[in-house]
A and B are shown apart, each in its own frame.
Chain A
Amino acid sequence: MSFVEYEELIKEGDTAIIFLGHGSMFPVQVQRGAQTQTKYGVIRHSAHLIGQPFGSRVTCSKGGWVYVLHPTPELWTLNLPHRTQILYSTDISIITMMLELKPGSVVCESGTGSGSLSHAIIRTVAPTGHLHTVEFHQQRAQKAEEEFREHRVDRWVTVRNQDVCKNGFGVSHVADAVFLDIPSPWEAIGHAKDALKVEGGRLCSFSPCIEQVQRTCQALAEHGFIEVTTLEILLREYNVRTANLPLPDLGGALDPLPVLGEAQFKIGVPLRETVGHTGYLTFASKSLF
């Protein structure tokens, strides 16, 4: 397994996702002889996981069963250890498309944070592209590097422990796209411009506050970026349910035996409470001139 290539069977050293049902899941590092406790009992890695196909149903010691899934950046986003606030797949999707990422793209990112977006970028730019990710927090940078190795994607990523606002991305004129998720993105726009290829490229900045966006947009204009747009994307989930509505008794029935009862139908109900804001996404293109 690797996060950029599907494999059929589970091997030692793989990261697998244990799916318990109802959206509840967690990642495991598959190791010969290791055991994992779940609410349905123990999973023995040697017996239950190694050599089995991804997607198999595993019966745990107490008789309950779980599914073992092949990791994907999207499943990782839902399961990764949070060291920071992370980006979720809804925002990641539009970032990836608006930055025009594809195999072969070279991308600069800061900060690395918990690596949620990093994994998605690496997946998209492999096997011919590269991610340069910059994180000013030393432990976070180290931890991210470890995870990239564990997930067998380290050859497509370079982690740098430095402050992007002071020292930039450590590369210049190589990037097709730059992504910023830092508290003061306006301080890094100059470095972003320098990282982008001479013939141009795309930039995205993620900020939760509109004041940050305003300063960023001003800096983008000052540095000659064009096509500056700001947008916000929200996920609306629906639960599928069977609903029943009682039919009202209007009295004075014409039928001798009024058939009262319920009407039943399938519906998609919006969640009672949902995420209402993640951040504003500002996109821009580096001008040729």
Chain B
Amino acid sequence: MENSVEQPRQQDHLIRDGDFVVLKREDVFKAVQVQRRKKVTFEKQWFFLDNVIGHSYGTTFEVSSGGNLQPKKMMEEITSETKEAGIDNRNIVDDGKSQKLTQDDIKALKDKGIKGEEIVQQLIENSTTFRDKTEFAQDKYIKKKKKKYEAIITVVKPSTRILSIMYYAREPGKINYMRYDTLAQMLTLGNIHAGNKMIVMETCAGLVLGAVMERMGGFGSIIQMYPGGGPVRAATTCFGFPKSFFNSLYEFPLGKVNCLLNGTFSSKALPSESKDSISVEENNGTLLDDLQTSPKEIEENIVEVIENNHPQQETMEVISQEPEYKEHKERGNKKDYIQEFQRKQEQQKKRQIEAATLLNERNADGLIIASRYHPTPLALSLLEFVAPSRPFVVYCHYKEPLVECYTKLRERGGVINLRLSETWLRNYQVLPDRSHPKLMMSGGGGYLLSGITVANDKQKSESCVLELQKTEEPTAKKRKVQESDS
């Protein structure tokens, strides 16, 4: 926009065709990919994103007729010159007659293409009680009506902050009800930073993986452990990472962890692998499903994903077709298709061997677990791949499995500073003379078990068991000492 006085060196802040972006209306988010002439539905409205291309991230748009988006200046608030205001609400009666405009009138206004702003103004003028409302109540009324009738959409850059808030609000089940502040704790407690070699085991649609990737900025390596046919990275895609970020992202099947630990894993085991274990998985993977999968089946898969969502809420945009996939469809040449598939299969095998090598070095810089599975077996086996003096964090939606995990880890030894915790998050309304906590807050955002690995050999683990008995059941006296310490 011409508002930018200085032309920044990089053009990263401009929205480009093909970018993964997040649409924002009030507090509602939706992740989409910018594609020309593609209809997007958001908050009961549909429009095209063609006009956002070339604008800065953070620009606000208004939906105009024909689903076109027009940039809108944020600050032109309607300075409603309503000086008249009541003192309190003693004379306001809820008789349902205060608004003279009927639903049909409003609909007619909308159909005429009247802007949301003007509709709100008309609503105010036709409200018999507006003038009697207190100034505060007037503000609230305007805000409420604006929210309903003004179709204002901001396009923002995806980030862990936005995507984790979006998922928690819209599809918490897909991320195991992990609240965004819990994810924030995991990233900090796990000391996630550039250059790490991280092990990530998650079943949170790839959100946790994406968050870890963002914090590592393409430096270091990540091994994603996955259950079933392949890793799920629907949310990871929404981050819109550069391709280079994926060069050091490996995946390794959970089902082969024990082989790796007891030394029976070998590259020879790979070619005999059945096709279905190679077949992929999620709706937006870059890898192709096995040969039998027709394009139709893939499409159905996407539809299914959409239907799985809460009916009242809109779905997050599922990024359907990777360019590579499109290519195949266009060519439609079965021979090429088979060759391509075999090439991919070979490449995948190679990557898996590389991942196995990385794990076998047993010097990972950290472990993050956030899955729908019981945390104990995962923590016990995956910690084997972590170097001493490194943090690990285990998430669980429930507290009790983590209590068990804590006990088992103490028995195993090789870990110190174990801590079971959760966080409380409270939002505030801040207004002059009217500041207080918001009326509603989240009742729980999941639990974390964190700790630090240390050197662990057999003797040590024995003494750790002793220590466990010492520390875990402190006598009344010991407990007193601890308390007075703190």
Query: Closest CB of chain B to A162's CB: distance in Å?
Result: 25
Query: Closest CB of chain B to A20's CB: distance in Å?
Result: 10
Q: Evaluate contact between A230 and B4: CB separation under 8 angstroms.
A: no
| B416 CB contact (under 8 Å) in A4, A19, A123, A210 | A19
CA distance A173 to B13 in the complex (A): 14
- Interface size counted on chain B using CB atoms at 8 A: 80
CA distance A101 to B161 in the complex (A): 10
Q: Evaluate contact between A92 and B219: CB separation under 8 angstroms.
A: no
The verdict on A258 contacting chain B, using a C-beta distance below 8 Å, is: no
Q: Evaluate contact between B467 and A74: CB separation under 8 angstroms.
A: no
Q: Could you tell me which residues of chain B, from 376 to 397, have a CB within 8 Å of some CB in chain A?
A: 387-391
Given contacts A93-B188, A233-B424, A240-B472, is CB(A55)–CB(B183) below 8 Å? no
Q: List 24 A-B contacts (CB under 8 A).
A: A4-B193, A6-B387, A67-B455, A72-B391, A89-B185, A93-B185, A94-B184, A96-B187, A97-B160, A97-B180, A104-B217, A127-B219, A173-B6, A197-B8, A198-B4, A230-B428, A241-B472, A266-B403, A266-B404, A268-B403, A280-B428, A287-B74, A288-B58, A288-B59
Q: Evaluate contact between B454 and A55: CB separation under 8 angstroms.
A: yes
Q: Evaluate contact between A55 and B387: CB separation under 8 angstroms.
A: yes
Q: Evaluate contact between A210 and B435: CB separation under 8 angstroms.
A: yes
The verdict on B203 contacting chain A, using a C-beta distance below 8 Å, is: no
Q: Evaluate contact between B390 and A6: CB separation under 8 angstroms.
A: yes
The verdict on B423 contacting chain A, using a C-beta distance below 8 Å, is: yes
Query: Closest CB of chain A to B484's CB: distance in Å?
Result: 12
CA distance A4 to B58 in the complex (A): 31
List residues of chain A with CB within 8 A of the CB of B416: 19, 21, 67
The verdict on A267 contacting chain B, using a C-beta distance below 8 Å, is: yes
Contact with A along B211-223 (1 / 0, CB 8 A): 0001111110000
The verdict on A132 contacting chain B, using a C-beta distance below 8 Å, is: no
List residues of chain B with CB within 8 A of the CB of A110: none
CA distance A94 to B180 in the complex (A): 9
Q: Evaluate contact between B183 and A97: CB separation under 8 angstroms.
A: yes
Q: Evaluate contact between B424 and A55: CB separation under 8 angstroms.
A: no
Q: Evaluate contact between B58 and A94: CB separation under 8 angstroms.
A: no
- CB closest chain-B residue, reference A211: B435
The verdict on B427 contacting chain A, using a C-beta distance below 8 Å, is: yes
Which residue numbers of A lie inside 8 Å of B, CB to CB? 4-6, 8, 19, 21-23, 53-57, 67-70, 72-74, 89-90, 92-94, 96-98, 100, 102-104, 120, 123-124, 126-128, 173, 197-200, 210, 213-214, 217-218, 224, 226, 228-242, 266-268, 272, 280, 282, 285, 287-289
Q: Evaluate contact between A232 and B482: CB separation under 8 angstroms.
A: no
| A266 CB contact (under 8 Å) in B8, B387, B407 | B407
- CB closest chain-A residue, reference B159: A100
The verdict on B40 contacting chain A, using a C-beta distance below 8 Å, is: no
- CB closest chain-B residue, reference A213: B430
List residues of chain A with CB within 8 A of the CB of B5: 198
CA distance A198 to B8 in the complex (A): 8
CA distance A228 to B483 in the complex (A): 39
List residues of chain A with CB within 8 A of the CB of B472: 240-242
Q: Evaluate contact between B391 and A56: CB separation under 8 angstroms.
A: no
CA distance A10 to B188 in the complex (A): 23
Q: Evaluate contact between A127 and B427: CB separation under 8 angstroms.
A: no
Q: Evaluate contact between B189 and A74: CB separation under 8 angstroms.
A: yes
CA distance A104 to B217 in the complex (A): 8
Q: Could you tell me which residues of chain B, from 174 to 209, have a CB within 8 Å of some CB in chain A?
A: 180-181, 183-185, 187-189, 191, 193-196
